[in-house]
Amino acid sequence: MKTKLLLVSLLLTSALSYSQNKHFGINDELKPYSKYALIDLYAGANFDLSHSGSSPNAGLLGTRPDVAPLLGIKFTHLFSKRVGWYANIQMNFYKDKQAEAVDQGFLGSFTENLADVLFWPVSIMRPSVDAGLVYRFEQQKWRIYPSFGVGYVYHLRDRGFVKSSTGSDEVLHTAEYKQRASSLTLNMGVSVNYYFSSRKYLLLSTNFVQPLQKSSGELVRMDNDVETERLSYKTITGGRALNVSVGLGFAIGR
134 half-sphere exposure, CB direction, 13 A CA radius: 31
**236 and 115 in a common domain:** yes
Helix (H, G, I), strand (E, B), or coil: what is residue 167? coil
**115 and 9 in a common domain:** no
**199 and 153 in a common domain:** yes
| pLDDT number for residue 15 | 38
**88 and 21 in a common domain:** no
**11 and 41 in a common domain:** no
Q: Are 116 and 95 in contact (CB under 8 A)?
A: yes
Give pLDDT tens digits along the chain (254 positions). Answer: 444 434 434 433 443 343 334 433 334 466 888 899 999 999 999 999 988 767 788 888 888 899 999 999 999 999 999 999 999 999 999 988 877 667 666 555 666 667 677 777 877 889 999 999 999 999 989 999 999 999 999 988 888 778 787 877 778 888 888 889 889 999 999 999 999 998 899 999 999 999 999 999 999 988 888 889 899 899 998 889 999 999 999 998 75
What DSSP designation does 121 have?
T
Per the structure, how many domains does the chain have? 2
Helix (H, G, I), strand (E, B), or coil: what is residue 75? strand
Distance CA 210, CA 50 (A): 10
CATH number of the domain bearing residue 106: 2.40.160.20
| pLDDT number for residue 164 | 80
**125 and 156 in a common domain:** yes
**42 and 4 in a common domain:** no
Q: For residue 19, what are the domain limits?
A: 1-30
**185 and 76 in a common domain:** yes
**146 and 79 in a common domain:** yes
| pLDDT number for residue 29 | 61
**19 and 138 in a common domain:** no
| pLDDT number for residue 28 | 45
**79 and 98 in a common domain:** yes
For residue 77, is it left (φ>0), alpha (ψ between -120 and 50) or beta?
A: beta
Q: Are 192 and 144 in contact (CB under 8 A)?
A: yes
**55 and 7 in a common domain:** no
